[in-house]
Chain A
Amino acid sequence: MNNNNNNNNNNPTTVAPRGSKLAFSRRNMLTAGAIAGGALMLGGKARAAESPSTPPDHNHGGAHPATHTPRSGEHFPPGEPGRDYTPVVVPNGWTLPYRIVDGVKVFHLVAEDVEHEFAPGLKANCWGYNASVHGPVIEAVEGDRVRIFVTNKLTAPTTVHWHGVLLPSGMDGVGGLTQRAILPDETFMYEFTLRQHGTLMYHSHHDEMTQMGMGMTGLFIIHPRNPQDPRPDRDFALMLHEWKIEVGASRPDPNEMTDFNTLTINAKCFPGTQPLIVKTGDRVRIRIGNLSAMDHHPIHLHGYYFILTETDGGVIPESARWPETSVLVPVGSTRTVEFVADNPGDWAMHCHMTHHVMNQMGHGIANMIGVQPGDLDARIRKLLPGYMTMGENGMGGMTEMGMSVPQNSIPMVGGVGPYDEITMGGMFTILKVRDEIANLNEDPGWYEPPPGTMSLPATKESLEQSGVRADGASAPRAPAAATKSWILPPPLRRAPGAPHHHGH
């Protein structure tokens, strides 16, 4: 009986691990065996352990519940980047280096004040780790033993919770519940063996609202020891977040509950977001975590559909995966999507909630759409020389005015695009797919579409050829019947059984 290792039989589409042998421990087997045979034992036939050097792959197949018994002390040699995994790419971010001490990967997080730039022109005093917001990505391999020191250089107590990581309760980092808080200037040590793989996270679990609102989150990525899926060529790690930073202020307001005005990917808002650069034909994986305070984010990618392959609970069986173009990343969750980048171009990738692709949107503004200022501006300028009516045609064009704005603030929308202003902000970035690319770490510039593959103003000839008039008069108009409201029929003159009224 070995419920741990029956994974792949459950997933007909995954290939066998390359050169890896599955293993089990005696204790694990016994624990699993105790509930074996129940409804939870969804897997097919057991596979015998063949190698002591690799841990079981808990994430494939349906045997999770039987394997959620974190242990201590037993682990595998540290997984090495390149050999055991392809390191993730962290746009606008970085991966935390480690040292190996007696076969244990040793990390050191330092919680501290960080002045963070959200985009050129907007900085704020946040809380983060190791001089960055969010914290650096912790990257390890299934079976690794990790020891993570956490030094608190904030003035507030804190803890770190390893979100989604299977570990002993006392290592879970919940202030008050599983440990006392780490006081300022104290250093705590967390140590556990990684028994799963996937896209996980870490964040403060002491005064969460404040500390996460101030930026204290990070990604915790565990690569499989024995990958079942092909290794990606490009493996991106993105963390979503939302903030409230008053225009002109320089401190996130963690008390905000609804009106977030700075929406970020890896703590940057467009145009500060670093594009995702891939080569045509690359197998691309994008891992997206969301530790926003209050909002889920449907992340939409242009030019492709992708397959949702993993959640923070693990790999989705191939039979259960589905294609889509927007993946909803709920708060406190991660989603991993994959696709093959076979469509070169500059492709927008963004949250599809339209207020989430705005920067520092002011909701106190009057609705100016369609207002005709006429000579009013001249009159008001007698009082306020800098006045002009704005917003009567929407929010576009803001960056072009060159007007004085509050210090330390960025326009609601606007990045300089190759042709025009990009009327986007916030949770917006660009996937740049190129046939030829020398350096994947350098922005390849704007995509130049081949002739005939780009929308241009219609020529007179093309209009005539297609029988289209430029004034729109030749276009079909909605028939009246199509737009009229439905009119309910008149009431029955006398409802059956209704009493007579009004003496008729």
Chain B
Amino acid sequence: MRTKAPLAAILASSLLAGCSSMKPGLGFDDVKQSIAERSGEQVHWNNGTPEDAQAKAAVATILEGELTADQAVQVALLNNHELQAVYEELNLAQSDVVQAGLLKNPVFSGDFRFGVSGVGPGVDLGIAQDFLSLLAMPLKKGRAEAAFEAAKVRVTAAVLDTAFEVRTAFYDYQAARQMREMRETVVEATGASYELAGRLRDAGNIRELDLSNERALKEQSKIELAAAQAEEIHLRERMNALMGLWGSQTLWVAAARLPALPDQQPPQDGLEAKAIRASLDLALLRREAEIAARSAGMAKPFAWLDGTEIGAASERELEGEWSVGPSLAVPIPIFDQGQAALGAAQARYKQAAERTIARAVEIRSRVRAAQSGALSAFERARYYEKVILPLRQKILDETQDQYNAMQISGFQLLQAKRDQIAAGAEYIASVHGYWQAKSELDQILSGRMTPFERTTRTAGAISTSTGASATGEHQ
């Protein structure tokens, strides 16, 4: 059959165009490497391999110890199924690449004619292949591959975003836990104060009013403790969701304290260039620009050719021989000369280019904001550590001395303790603020921007009030 020749050529060309089959998980190695370079975390995509079990075991091992922020992030990256869902984006993008490498299936056509006026019946057989798909295949493939690269960037970004969310949520949780402990101490202090008042009342030395005031203080502090407990539980559940934990795995224990402040200030030099280099947002926009450019490039030569088909037709008259000949169907570019598609592609390219610049400006601004935020949070926390807390301790010691000298009452001494606890709470908030701000900075340096609103509220918004002062009526 002569028809074989052109079909074979078509099939050959499609094979030349590249792979035509899916390889699940393709591209994830790049993501993995990128994550490792940017944040040092390990990621794993459950694809039914033996490594799946290893990842599970790693999670279980981490959960046995006291969790740090890094470990919590690691658990989430291995165990968060939302992320696993995100990884499928890679397969989806890959499928586009594969799709782009496939020719459109040829169209077989046949006509049978029956003679009605002495002419015998005839047969027309034809096979037609979308011509453009053949010509445009490399271009389409290029676009799909660019989209695939973009998908890798997006997945990497999603991983980093999750890591950031987990890290900051973990700090939130640790801070809330410390706040709860602090409130427990306040309850102890107000309880002791109330009990002391009770002893004085038993001895007949103070009024019922004084006792009631002390009790009000204690009850108030218990309410505040309950609120702190609720907040802690709430934030712990957020961690469970982020780390993908349920059942007995939710019994994890976190390190009791926020990490200590480092000795050094957060880095300050060369951050803008570093952030620009690392930015996944920019990488993504560059990919988008590339895709747009490729689309534009594709639009130009082929826009009006869309619909062109080449093919072969064979015909046999009823009485006669088969005749074979090529067929060609070409749109006549009278109306659609591809100008619209070209314009759109060019506009998209320009859009992507402009957005790239805008985003770069924004990143530079955000880096500076994050850097100064981290620095001021660091200085604030260090000031608490070096000045405020020692001062509060000194005040408490001196108050104790005044108490020892019988100058002030035990109530005033316990009040001084509560004041010290309040300063401790502010310190916790300041350390929390620092780690939040530091996470912001690290995040932008690892290539991801965080919402601006978030940056502005990282300075530790946890309430630190420890209840009103004692009334002092019986001091």
Contacts and interface: CB of A to CB of B under 8 A. Distances in A.
Interface in B168-195: 185, 188-189, 191-192, 195
Given A371-B205, A373-B199, A384 B417 contact: yes
Interface in B372-414: 396-398, 400-414
Interface residues of B, number: 35
B301 to A, nearest CB: 82
Interface string A408-419: 010110000000
B204 interface: yes
Interface string B188-211: 110110011001101111100000
B409 A384 contact: no
Nearest to B407: A362
Interface string B254-277: 000000000000000000000000
Contacts of A376: 192, 195-196, 199
B475 interface: yes
Contacts of B113: none
B200 A379 contact: no
Contacts of A247: 402, 405, 407
A409 B404 CA distance: 11
Contact of B199 (A371, A391, A405): A371
11 contacts: A365-B408, A365-B475, A367-B474, A371-B199, A371-B205, A372-B202, A372-B203, A374-B199, A379-B188, A380-B196, A387-B413
A376 B197 CA distance: 11
Contact of A366 (B188, B200, B402): B200
B404 A403 contact: yes
A379 B192 contact: yes
A372 B185 contact: no
Interface string B24-60: 0000000000000000000000000000000000000
A182 to B, nearest CB: 38
Which has the most chain A C-beta neighbours within 10 Å: B185, B203, B403?
B403
Q: Is the interface of A mostly helix, strand, loop or mixed?
A: loop
A384 B414 contact: yes
A384 B405 contact: no
Top 7 closest pairs, chain A to chain B, by CB: A362-B407, A366-B409, A370-B203, A403-B404, A367-B205, A405-B405, A406-B401
B206 A404 contact: no
Which has the most chain A C-beta neighbours within 10 Å: B185, B191, B410?
B410
A503 B474 CA distance: 50
A460 to B, nearest CB: 35
A366 B407 contact: no
B219 to A, nearest CB: 18
Given A374-B199, A376-B192, A383-B189, A401 B205 contact: no
Contact of A384 (B204, B402, B411, B413): B413
A472 interface: no
B195 A391 contact: no
Interface in A344-379: 360, 362, 364-374, 376, 379
B205 A366 contact: yes
B204 to A, nearest CB: 7
Interface of B: 185, 188-189, 191-192, 195-196, 199-200, 202-206, 396-398, 400-414, 417, 474-475
B185 A383 contact: yes
B319 to A, nearest CB: 114
Given A386-B400, A403-B404, A406-B401, A369 B414 contact: no
A386 B189 contact: no
Contacts of B403: 387, 390
A248 interface: yes
A27 interface: no
Nearest to A366: B409
Contacts of A384: 396, 400, 413-414, 417
Given A365-B475, A383-B189, A371 B400 contact: no
Given A369-B205, A383-B185, A387-B400, 15 more contacts: A247-B407, A248-B402, A362-B408, A365-B407, A371-B199, A380-B414, A382-B188, A383-B189, A384-B396, A384-B400, A386-B400, A403-B404, A404-B401, A406-B407, A409-B405
A149 B406 CA distance: 45
Contacts of A389: 196, 410
Given A367-B205, A383-B192, A384-B417, A360 B199 contact: no
A395 B404 CA distance: 12
Contact of B404 (A370, A392, A405): A405
A404 B410 contact: no
Which has the most chain B C-beta neighbours within 10 Å: A371, A374, A395, A412?
A371
A226 B400 CA distance: 60
Nearest to A410: B405
B199 A364 contact: no
